[in-house]
Amino acid sequence: MVHRKHCLIIEAGPTPDFLVDRYGSYADMIEQWLSPYALGTSFTRNRRYEDEPLPEPDAQDAVVISGSRFGVYEEAPWMLQLERFIHALVDARVPLFGICFGHQIIAKALGGRVEMSEQGWGLGTKEYQLGPITSQLSGTLSAHAVHQDQVVKLPEGARILGGNDHCPFAILGYENKPIASVQFHPEFTQNYLSDLLPVLKERGVQSEIVSTAETSLANQCDDQTIARWAAAILFDTNGAWPQ
């Protein structure tokens, strides 16, 4: 695999204050997750949620958009600017990967709809059924989920690559575009979730949901498999993209 030299990570929100000292920023976690499969790649960050100016889209080799505590339907000015940036990346055919909020804002920017799901929290280690993706991914995979919002209407050209009963549009690709995204968090570790879940309970998430999520953390995640696939989309110059 031939890797590009630079990847921009757009941070769409901050890591919770009580976790940042131990686990770093969302960009730190994404870089740590991807780096083993992106040898020779440098990473830079943009704190979009703090309104940090975006760079030139066609100067990027690859872009990842992080998760966030914010909802894309809030349509804050920085989010609308990010949507325009996504369109520019698409026009320039820059490989793009979205995680959670990133998954949602890519879909919204391209004509989909995102809402707070009537199904409630997706929390803990979840299993997803996969459609045809690549030779690297087939069958099912497990990943950590932390979300209330979901993509509920697909944009034109989107393909469902994986999902489950709770989140049918959990993995999306886009026809003839170097774009893919996931609703879950492959960059989150078991330890991170273990520290986050009790605080979510304190903040009002139902105790049964938190308890079930805590139990689910004993299940193994396929975060490294997902990292290899994401790296192929972002860095493989032969174009290992969803078709």
Q: Could you list the active site residues?
A: 100, 185, 187
191 is written with which tokens? 């330890």
Q: What residues pair up with 124 in beta bridges, in sequence order? A: 145
Strand pairing report for 113-116 and 149-153: antiparallel
Looking up tokens 């055919």 gives 93
Angle between the 190-202 and 207-216 helix axes, to the nearest 10 degrees?
Answer: 170
Instruction: Write the CA distances from 162 to 27, 131, 143, 184, integer angstroms.
Output: 24, 6, 12, 11
